[in-house]
Amino acid sequence: MRTLLASAGLALLLALATEPGVNAQEAPEYLKQTVPEQALKAHWDEQLAVMNPKGALDGKTKQLIALGVAAQIPCVYCVYGHTKLAKAAGATDAQIKEAIATAALVRFNSTMLQGSGYDLQKLQQEVDRLAAPK
């Protein structure tokens, strides 16, 4: 289900980025055919609201985040699309590599912490110390 929703969201973004005739008020055909009818409007509205490049995060940042997530899902459709959209939003190859490396590092550390059963309170204390103003 996550992959379907991620793919649908990616397809939406691709449509908005590449098809000048797409009406922002109406979901594109691929969403109409893949998202349940009762969820379509809410899904479309959420896509438009969250991926709005004029929100608190700019479009490039959102695409780099989406790419890191897509690499972790993993979703080949989303990786392709968010890479293209990140570049279209001004991301460099170095920024794309760093976004993917950041996602991979978080995934690695998460796996090690979860698998080892590391004490959460101890981690919180260590992170608080690292994040304290110097």
Report whether 89 contacts 53 (CB < 8 A). yes
Per-residue burial over 2-19, b if 16 or more Cβ lie within 10 Å, else e, is eeeebbbbbbbbbbbbee
pLDDT confidence of residue 21: 42
1: which 2 tokens?
């289900």
Rounded Cα–Cα distance for residues 3 and 77 (Å): 9
Q: What is the pLDDT of residues 18-53, one digit of tens each?
A: 344 444 678 978 789 999 999 999 999 998 999 999
Residue of 45, 35, 26, 49 lying closest to 7 (CA atoms): 35
Rounded Cα–Cα distance for residues 54 and 59 (Å): 7
Q: What is the pLDDT of residues 74-131, one digit of tens each?
A: 999 899 999 999 999 999 999 999 999 999 999 999 999 999 999 999 999 999 999 9
Where do the H-state alpha helices sit in 19-133?
Answer: 29-34, 37-50, 59-72, 76-88, 93-116, 120-131
pTM value is 0.76
